[in-house]
């Protein structure tokens, strides 16, 4: 089994070499107005050549001099020579403290050619001006090049950080210099196979998604599954002399919970197919495929590897069957461990614990109050780059809207009327005709006064749409950077309102099927939603106070809600699946105490691993991925340490056996057992589950 599984994973890694996702997290649906406007504008003659600006200022911030003007003339000549096209300039700012030189780049060339051209232009600019001048190359092609440059090597860095984090946490969890290598190696193989599969899916179905998020999910979920299996295996080794019999028992006992957990997350991810945002749909398909591969890798090759190496892999703390003397002296973690002690304390005063927990979640959720949704153009990178520095200089000296004008497409006959109408919109400084297309469209440029993608710029874009849509015979479409951001916000809000209820329905149905109850799933789902909202609020507090993140990216709420609910229910399944079996012997309240005591260490370890893995998204250059990693990481810790350890036991103690309605644990059916007294020999196999 081990050989066959490894060969298959390696074959998938080597045999499936797709081109990867067709687009990233910023993809818009083709049906959006900004996408349709961009598609028409691309047919305009000369549209393939996009402007690139060299923004020149003095390093000391003073006004440019006559000597500086001569250097800028040299800069214009050098840029024209490198680009092979005319360069326009100088274009001095009214305050005299900045100047512009503009040339164009073939934006339809392959990415490597564009990146090389931007690099050559920057090298020529640096060598053309004296040291006291600062020159920044910016514009659409430069921004795209900087994004690609920022991600160059970022996926490797993310993978390296993820592996390092998982390795350290596994080493601390198992306290063995050998054991941690097994799950890490198998999950790394699964990640490689998942990367190949999702890359092929991305090419074949033109999916949009971020590959880094897929790796994080595979490592996080795969490690969690491995922790659950190995934890139960170590427990069973204390009851079996044959390590393979112990492994078989552990596999049988944990596989239903692992599969239920995986199926829940996969089904929740598949609800993203109802989204209109391409990146959201693509992430659902790719992540579901990655998690299924992680499940298969843990249940088969990892299990086979554990069967081959035997119990010695736990060295130096090798678990062995207990003797009668050991049994007398060994502490029962389910009754006397630290997590059991906490759960017992909680269940003694469940109302107090529940109220305090809910109040704490409510306080954390206040981080949502007053939060601005949507990042401006200069807020989207975790650290500044040359193009963003250039845009900031243009905004300061020429006007914020100069760097990214609104793009308008109208019928050619309505072009002049559209210019007049656009200039009457509040916030629009000027409008002009950029050119026409062979199909009879005119492409207009409208320069606003607000920072692109800011709330004020979105108001400008909304005003343009309202005014131009009412222009008779124009068939106007308004696009551009800011309008694209407005469309992303609208579509993301729609996806949140449509997909979030579907995610909740999937989780509820899985819990009902697993627990064969109605009350417990409803209570647990409500707790999960409250925990998720509190986690988003906590992430916003932390983002503002620690990282100076001014707003929430529009795509984060849905993805954060999905991962927090779907991954959070993993720990609910691990805990309550065990609690139901314990309740059959010890009653609901004591059964929950024993379940917390038995699973506390593994759930906490799994939660810390998953939180740390998501936090690794912070090494990527985009603020949206850093926000997602921060919110989900903090949310998993909140769910693990507060919700599963305090709030859930408190609610089970308050509601009691009614949690399992309409079914009842076996102890409730047996006379005298409901209160937790002895269940007799017949219940022992159930208790061992």
pLDDT digits (tens, 9 = 90+) for 341-360: 999 999 999 999 999 999 99
Instruction: Kindly indicate the confidence band of residue 559, based on its pLDDT and cuts at 50, 70 and 90.
Output: confident
Q: For residue range 616-640, what is the model confidence (pLDDT) as tens digits? A: 887 777 788 888 889 999 999 998 8
The pLDDT-based confidence of 689 (bands split at 50, 70, 90) is very low
For residues 570 and 639, is the Cβ–Cβ distance under 8 A? no
DSSP state of 376: -
pLDDT at residue 683, rounded to an integer = 32
**Which residues does 107 contact at the CB level (< 8 Å), separation at least 6?**
48, 49, 50, 114, 140, 141
- Is the model's pLDDT at 642 over the cut of 50? yes
Res 151 pLDDT > 80: no
Instruction: State residue 354's pLDDT score.
Output: 95
Task: Kindly report, residue by residue over 486-516, the tens digit of the pLDDT.
Answer: 998 899 899 999 999 999 999 899 888 888 8
CA distance 444 to 506: 47
Residue 686's pLDDT band (boundaries 50, 70, 90)?
very low
pLDDT of residue 580: 85
Q: What is the DSSP letter of 323?
A: P
pLDDT (mean) for 292-314: 94
Q: How confident is the model at residue 153 (pLDDT cuts 50, 70, 90)?
A: low
Contact 578, 261 (CB under 8 A): no
Helix (H, G, I), strand (E, B) or coil at 133: strand
Tokens of 525: 């789902």
User: How much is the average pLDDT of 421-436?
Assistant: 93
User: What pLDDT, on the 0 to 100 scale, is given for residue 24?
Assistant: 60
Confidence class for position 455, pLDDT limits 50, 70, 90: confident
Strand bridging mode 372-373 / 551-552:
parallel
Residue 23 has pLDDT above 80, yes or no: no
Distances (CA, A) of 321 to 235, 270, 307: 10, 44, 17
Query: pLDDT (tens digit, 9 = 90+) per residue, 217-263?
Result: 898 889 889 988 998 898 899 889 999 999 999 999 889 888 988 98
In whole numbers, what is the pLDDT of the chain averaged over residues?
85
- CA 595 to CA 603: how far, in whole Å? 11
Query: Residue 645, CB half-sphere, CA atoms under 13 Å: how many?
Result: 20
Q: Which of 17-26, 173-182, 247-256, 569-578 has the highest mean pLDDT?
A: 247-256
The pLDDT confidence band at residue 178, using thresholds 50, 70 and 90, is confident
pLDDT of residue 395: 82
Helix ranges restricted to H, 88-153: 111-128, 140-151
Q: Token digits for 442?
A: 């005119």
The C-alpha atoms of residue 341 and residue 361 are separated, in whole angstroms, by: 23
The 10s digit of each residue's pLDDT in 259-286 is: 988 988 899 999 999 999 888 888 899 9
Q: How much is the pLDDT for 437?
A: 92
Cβ–Cβ under 8 Å, residues 616 and 155: no
Distance (Å, whole) CA 613 – CA 617: 8
Q: What domains appear along the chain, each with residue ranges and CATH number?
A: 48-150 (3.30.70.360), 153-281+303-322+333-375+487-676 (1.20.1640.10)
pLDDT confidence band for 152 (50 / 70 / 90):
low
* pLDDT confidence of residue 61: 85
The one-character DSSP state at 593 is: H
pLDDT given at position 398: 86
Confidence of residue 26 (pLDDT cuts 50, 70, 90): low
Contact of 624 with 521, CB cutoff 8 Å: no
Would the pLDDT of 675 be above 50?
Answer: no
How many CB atoms are closer than 10 A to CB 345? 13
Bond before 662 cis per omega within 30 degrees:
yes
Look at residue 163 in the predicted model and tell me its pLDDT.
82
3-state class (DSSP) for residue 446: strand
Distances (CA, A) of 300 to 247, 262, 295, 659: 12, 15, 9, 35
Q: Quote the pLDDT of residue 676.
A: 35
Residue 668: predicted pLDDT: 42
Does residue 120 register a pLDDT over 90? Answer: yes
Of 239, 231, 256, whose CA–CA distance to 601 is shortest? Answer: 231
pLDDT of residue 672: 36
pLDDT > 70 in the chain, percent: 92
pLDDT band at 306 (very low <50, low <70, confident <90, very high): very high
pLDDT value of position 666: 52
Distance, CA of 144 to chain centre: 21
């Amino acid at each position: 089994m081990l050989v066959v599984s490894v060969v298959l994973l390696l074959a998938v890694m080597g045999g499936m070499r797709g081109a990867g996702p067709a687009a990233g997290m910023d993809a818009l649906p083709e049906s959006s107005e900004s996408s349709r406007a961009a598609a028409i504008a691309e047919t305009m003659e000369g549209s393939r050549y996009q402007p690139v600006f060299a923004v020149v200022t003095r390093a000391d911030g003073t006004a440019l001099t006559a000597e500086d003007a001569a250097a800028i003339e040299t800069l214009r000549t050098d840029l024209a020579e490198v680009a092979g096209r005319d360069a326009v300039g100088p274009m001095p700012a009214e305050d005299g403290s900045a100047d512009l030189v503009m040339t164009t780049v073939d934006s339809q060339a392959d990415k490597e050619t564009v990146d090389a051209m931007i690099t050559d232009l920057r090298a020529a600019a640096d060598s053309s001006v004296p040291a006291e001048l600062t020159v920044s190359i910016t514009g659409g092609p430069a921004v795209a090049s900087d994004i690609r440059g920022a991600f160059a090597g970022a996926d490797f860095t993310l993978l390296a950080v993820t592996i390092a984090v998982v390795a350290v946490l596994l080493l601390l969890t198992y306290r063995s210099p050998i054991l941690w290598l097994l799950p890490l190696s198998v999950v790394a193989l699964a990640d490689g196979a998942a990367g190949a599969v999702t890359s092929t899916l991305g090419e074949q179905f033109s999916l949009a998604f971020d590959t880094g998020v897929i790796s994080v999910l595979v490592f996080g979920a795969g490690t969690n599954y491995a922790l659950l299996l190995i934890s139960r295996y170590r427990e069973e080794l204390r009851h079996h002399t044959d390590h393979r019999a112990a492994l078989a028992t552990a596999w049988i006992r944990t596989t239903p919970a692992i599969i239920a957990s995986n199926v829940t997350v996969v089904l929740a991810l598949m609800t993203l197919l109802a989204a209109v945002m391409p990146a959201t749909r693509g992430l659902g398909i790719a992540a579901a495929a990655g998690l299924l591969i992680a499940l298969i890798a843990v249940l088969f090759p990892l299990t086979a590897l554990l069967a081959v190496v035997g119990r010695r892999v736990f060295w130096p703390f090798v678990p062995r069957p207990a003797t009668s003397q050991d049994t007398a002296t060994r502490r029962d973690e389910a009754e006397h461990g630290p997590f059991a002690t906490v759960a017992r304390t909680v269940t003694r005063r469940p109302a107090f614990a529940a109220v305090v927990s809910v109040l704490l979640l409510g306080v954390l959720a206040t981080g949502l109050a007053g939060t601005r949704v949507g990042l401006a153009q200069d807020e989207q990178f975790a650290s500044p780059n040359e193009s963003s520095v250039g845009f900031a200089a243009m905004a300061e000296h020429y006007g914020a809207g100069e760097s990214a004008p609104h793009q308008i497409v109208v019928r050619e006959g309505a072009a002049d009327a559209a210019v007049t109408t656009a200039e009457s919109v509040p916030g629009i400084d000027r409008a002009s005709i950029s050119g026409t297309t062979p199909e009879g469209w005119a492409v207009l440029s409208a320069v606003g006064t607000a920072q692109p993608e800011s709330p004020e710029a979105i108001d400008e874009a909304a005003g343009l749409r309202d005014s131009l849509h009412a222009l008779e015979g124009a068939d106007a479409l308004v696009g551009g950077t800011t309008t694209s951001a407005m469309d992303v916000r609208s579509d993301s809000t729609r996806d949140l309102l449509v997909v979030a209820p579907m995610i909740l329905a999937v989780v509820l149905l899985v819990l009902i099927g697993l627990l064969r109850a109605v009350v417990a799933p409803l209570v647990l789902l409500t707790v999960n939603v409250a925990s998720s909202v509190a986690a988003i609020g906590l992430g916003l507090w932390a983002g503002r106070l620690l990282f100076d993140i001014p707003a929430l990216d529009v795509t984060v709420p849905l993805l954060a809600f999905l991962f927090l609910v779907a991954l959070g229910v993993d720990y609910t399944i691990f805990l309550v699946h065990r609690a139901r079996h314990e309740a059959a012997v010890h009653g609901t309240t004591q059964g929950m105490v024993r379940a917390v005591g038995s699973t506390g260490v593994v759930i906490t370890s799994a939660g810390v691993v998953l939180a740390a893995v998501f936090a690794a998204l912070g090494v990527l250059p985009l603020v949206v991925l850093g926000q997602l990693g921060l919110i989900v990481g903090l949310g998993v810790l909140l769910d693990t340490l507060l919700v599963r350890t305090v709030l859930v036991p408190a609610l089970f103690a308050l509601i009691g056996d009614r949690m399992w309605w309409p079914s009842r644990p076996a102890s409730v059916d047996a006379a005298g057992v409901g209160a937790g007294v002895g269940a007799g020999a017949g219940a022992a196999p159930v208790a061992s589950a």
